[in-house]
Amino acid sequence: MLKKEVLDALNEQINAELYSSYLYLSMSAYFENKGLPGFANWMKIQYQEETAHAIKFFNFVNERGGRVILKPIAGPEVEFDNVLSVFEKTLAHENHVTDLINNLVDIAIQARDHATQSFLKWFVDEQVEEEANVSKILDTLRLINGEGNGLFMMDREMQQRVFVDPNAAAE
């Protein structure tokens, strides 16, 4: 059984993961509108991953006998300056999510909830990967100044990304 402070924090994280998915879907729509289908695809995969993360939390809360309480999701940003600014915002958002996950780990440690600590390890590792991936894209975008033929080539590369459901892989 989950302690109240752990359950409340996990429910907040479900909301944060759903907001993240909504934000990335908004970024995908922005890229579609700008004629960048590869970047749109990359963000749509991010949307799917964040939704899967929310479901992973959802399932964990239910498995531990807690009650999932869904809250309203804030509206995401819809206007962006350019491709570079979108990925700068993406990295800042992933840094924020890392802080949220680290805070969850701290709450689980304080509550002496070893099962939740174990569960959260996957998310700690996932955030390292998320930040590294976005940082790599940002480095490349900065090299090409976020424009020109380099942007065209990156857009084609981003089209190759496919979604792998972490919930299906765990089963």
Q: What is the CATH number of the domain that holds 22?
A: 1.20.1260.10
pTM over 0.75: yes
Instruction: Using the structure block, give the residue that is written with the tokens 């480095």.
Output: 139
Q: Are 79 and 46 in contact (CB under 8 A)?
A: no
Element at 52 (helix H, strand E): helix 37-63
Distance in angstroms (rounded) separating the CA atoms of residues 160 and 130: 17
Total number of domains constituting the chain: 1
- 3-state secondary structure labels for all residues of 69-106: CCCCCCCCCCCCCCHHHHHHHHHHHHHHHHHHHHHHHH
Domain range holding 20? 4-170
pLDDT tens, per residue, the chain with 171 residues? 899 999 999 999 999 999 999 999 999 999 999 999 999 999 999 999 999 999 999 999 999 999 999 999 999 999 999 999 999 999 999 999 999 999 999 999 999 999 999 999 999 999 999 999 999 999 999 999 988 899 999 999 999 989 988 888 655
